[in-house]
């Protein structure tokens, strides 16, 4: 833990880390003078992108900088559930669960292409929790917030239920309830697109180097991946750096943070599809934690997650053998066919940037968010985000602006995001399947599975990619998995995609489906031999 203090000597800012004092050189604060933006947002995860959308839509000028790709870290490493969080009821997190349950229904309407209902089966295990306790939890879950589209929970006997095929015969009864699935990294990109369409500037591969107050403004130095530095001025700054929120405060701003983040690692494994049905399982473990097994990308099952205290570099987080074993054992305890580490096709890990409430163990740390605001009275405003869920990003953004605007002394538009579709989500009646049927009818010469994938990923914007195409060949080079040049060009032009990994793993999950040479072919296409990092505008976002 850093103990920080600021000294101003010859204009320099110093940071003390244990016995080391590092100077943030005064030279970093160059003088590319420009007119200030209202809001400089650090971090292109779900919270930074969500705040950018809300703020830009209220009329603030916004610059968002993300040191890597959008959703490069925690926001692409989640279990991908828009959920109230049944488990959090045990920790009396009623405020969070109610807010999250309310958001479920809203988000379903805002983005019916990337968010859809998912049924969960909870096998009853007397050794973990008595049935009355689970029933009481589900009753609360059903009633804490109004449900419009999602069904209520039910007690079930597995005899006639399809779950009986997968479960060991000892598990004869249980419960079902509904939550939602979300394509997490696409949710981030759609928020960034919505922000950009309201005038925000989104700069990926650009990091905050340092910032300091200068009068009523922040003077901040940002640096792109080529090493080019620029000084920008902002009336307020949002620190939405997720696991780096503390580092931004101490190392980049030279501040002594009163609140701290508790980093908790969570890992997932992906195995070949364990069963054909569309429902997911929520499985209780002897340590009182729960693990999900969720149908994933048609051919796979996603299993996660773990809760491990973490103190290393968030960018280097990887699954351990113990975590893989834990996840395999969690599923094998319930399923007739055991899952072993040899079945793992791929894994991923992320770091939860939780607000440190001093809870004893990692699973008990609050999942609720805390927003810390400083400034006002002639000082520029600073808002730092601690914690937060994918599910609650929209509400978090609203709360962030409610706290920030008075400190900035600004009166701009009221909250507007609750009933506005995200890009591509403008489907009549928020009915994805009705929209899919119209696309299928419009493009009879294109493969149904391809149209389904595009409609899911881009919603109504898929027609921008398809244009007047009649057959797949009209969409240019096919890189494998029906990823065509037209789609790649769209991702580069409108979604800030720059590398094969951006495209295959964050804008889509095609990495799981394409042949081995796709990444190399894409790399050659994105950066033809003999070109510099940016090729003739093709790699630049075009609005």
Ligand X SMILES: Cc1cc2nc3c(=O)[nH]c(=O)nc-3n(C[C@H](O)[C@H](O)[C@H](O)COP(=O)(O)OP(=O)(O)OC[C@H]3O[C@@H](n4cnc5c(N)ncnc54)[C@H](O)[C@@H]3O)c2cc1C
Contact residues for ligand X, defined by CB under 6 A: 42-48, 65-68, 72-75, 77-81, 83, 207-208, 240-244, 248, 266, 305, 350-353, 385, 388-391
Could you tell me the end-to-end alpha-carbon distance of the chain, in angstroms, rounded to an integer? 41
Query: Which residue, 47 or 363, has its beta carbon nearer to ligand X?
Result: 47
Select from 209, 208, 206 the least CA-distant residue to 225. 206
Cβ at position 222, least distance to ligand X in Å: 8
Cβ at position 43, least distance to ligand X in Å: 3
Cβ at position 8, least distance to ligand X in Å: 22
Query: Which residue, 118 or 166, has its beta carbon nearer to ligand X?
Result: 118
Helix (H) or strand (E) holding 101: helix 94-110
Query: Which residue, 51 or 407, has its beta carbon nearer to ligand X?
Result: 51
DSSP structural state of residue 468: T
Beta carbons within 8 Å of 436's beta carbon, 6+ residues apart: 451, 452, 455
Contact 280, 121 (CB under 8 A): yes
Token pair for 207: 């990091």
Cβ at position 237, least distance to ligand X in Å: 11
Given the DSSP bridges, would you call strands 280-284 and 115-123 parallel, antiparallel or unpaired? parallel
Query: Which residue, 74 or 284, has its beta carbon nearer to ligand X?
Result: 74
The Cα 200–Cα 192 span in angstroms is 8
Query: Which residue, 292 or 432, has its beta carbon nearer to ligand X?
Result: 292
Cβ at position 357, least distance to ligand X in Å: 15
Query: Which residue, 486 or 541, has its beta carbon nearer to ligand X?
Result: 541
Cβ at position 254, least distance to ligand X in Å: 14
Nearest-CB residue for ligand X? 45
Beta carbons within 8 Å of 392's beta carbon, 6+ residues apart: 96, 99, 100, 103, 369
Contact 394, 417 (CB under 8 A): yes
Query: Which residue, 74 or 363, has its beta carbon nearer to ligand X?
Result: 74
Token pair for 16: 């003390």
Token pair for 28: 């970093």
Select from 42, 89, 324 the least CA-distant residue to 211. 42
Cβ at position 179, least distance to ligand X in Å: 9
DSSP structural state of residue 396: H
Given the DSSP bridges, would you call strands 229-239 and 379-386 parallel, antiparallel or unpaired? parallel
In order of 138, 288, 291, the CA distances from 90 in angstroms are: 11, 10, 16
The Cα 469–Cα 471 span in angstroms is 6
Cβ at position 259, least distance to ligand X in Å: 14
The packing angle between helices 485-494 and 518-526, to 10°, is 60
Query: Which residue, 244 or 525, has its beta carbon nearer to ligand X?
Result: 244
The Cα 166–Cα 273 span in angstroms is 12
Query: Which residue, 1 or 470, has its beta carbon nearer to ligand X?
Result: 1
DSSP structural state of residue 146: -
Cβ at position 233, least distance to ligand X in Å: 17
Cβ at position 228, least distance to ligand X in Å: 15
Query: Which residue, 206 or 484, has its beta carbon nearer to ligand X?
Result: 206
Select from 375, 409, 518, 369 the least CA-distant residue to 47. 369
């Amino acid at each position: 833990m850093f103990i920080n203090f600021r000294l101003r000597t010859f204009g320099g800012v110093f940071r003390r880390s244990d016995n080391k004092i590092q100077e943030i050189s005064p030279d970093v604060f160059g003088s590319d003078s420009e007119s200030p933006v209202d809001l400089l947002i650090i971090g292109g995860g779900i919270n930074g992108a969500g705040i950018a959308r809300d703020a830009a839509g209220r009329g603030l000028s916004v610059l968002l900088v993300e040191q890597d790709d959008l959703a490069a870290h925690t926001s692409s490493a989640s279990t991908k559930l828009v959920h109230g969080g049944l488990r959090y009821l045990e920790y009396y997190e009623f405020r969070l669960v109610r807010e999250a349950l309310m958001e479920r229904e809203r988000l379903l309407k805002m983005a019916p292409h990337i968010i859809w209902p998912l049924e969960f089966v909870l096998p009853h295990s007397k050794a973990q929790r008595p049935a009355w306790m689970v029933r009481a939890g589900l009753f609360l879950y059903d009633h804490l917030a109004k449900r419009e589209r999602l069904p209520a929970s039910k007690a079930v006997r597995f005899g006639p239920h399809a779950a009986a095929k997968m479960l060991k015969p000892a598990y004869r009864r249980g419960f079902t309830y509904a939550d939602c699935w979300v394509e997490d990294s696409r949710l981030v990109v759609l928020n960034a697109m919505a922000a950009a369409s309201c005038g925000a500037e989104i700069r990926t591969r650009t990091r905050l180097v340092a910032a300091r107050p200068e009068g009523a403004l922040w003077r901040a130095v940002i640096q792109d991946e080529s090493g080019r530095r620029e000084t920008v001025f902002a009336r307020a700054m949002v620190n939405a750096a997720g696991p780096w929120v503390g580092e931004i405060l101490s190392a980049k701003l030279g501040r002594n943070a009163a609140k701290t983040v508790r980093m908790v690692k969570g890992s997932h494994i992906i195995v070949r599809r364990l069963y054909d049905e569309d429902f997911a399982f929520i499985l209780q473990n002897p340590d009182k934690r729960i693990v999900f097994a969720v149908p994933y990308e048609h051919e796979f099952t996603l299993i996660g997650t773990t809760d491990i205290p973490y103190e290393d570099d968030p960018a280097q987080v990887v699954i351990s053998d113990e975590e893989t074993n834990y996840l395999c054992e969690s599923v094998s305890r319930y399923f007739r066919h055991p899952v072993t580490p040899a079945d793992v096709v791929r894994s991923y890990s992320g770091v939860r940037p939780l607000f440190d409430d001093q809870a004893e163990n990692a699973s008990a740390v609050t999942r609720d968010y805390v927003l810390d605001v400083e400034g006002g009275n002639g000082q520029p405003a600073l808002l730092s985000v601690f914690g937060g869920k994918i599910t609650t990003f929209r509400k978090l953004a609203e709360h962030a602006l409610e706290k920030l605007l008075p400190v900035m002394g600004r009166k701009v538009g009221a909250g507007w995001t609750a009933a506005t579709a995200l890009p591509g989500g403008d489907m009549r009646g928020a009915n994805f399947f009705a929209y899919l049927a119209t696309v299928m009818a419009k493009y009879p010469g294109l493969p149904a599975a391809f149209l389904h994938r595009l409609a899911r990923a881009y919603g109504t914007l898929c027609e921008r990619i398809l244009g007047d195409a009649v057959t797949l060949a009209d969409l240019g080079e096919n890189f494998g998995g029906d990823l065509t040049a037209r789609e790649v060009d769209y991702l580069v032009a409108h979604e800030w995609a720059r590398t094969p990994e951006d495209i295959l793993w964050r804008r889509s999950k095609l990495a799981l489906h394409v042949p081995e040479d796709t990444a190399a072919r894409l790399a050659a296409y994105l950066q033809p031999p003999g070109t510099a990092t940016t090729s003739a505008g093709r790699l630049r976002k075009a609005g």
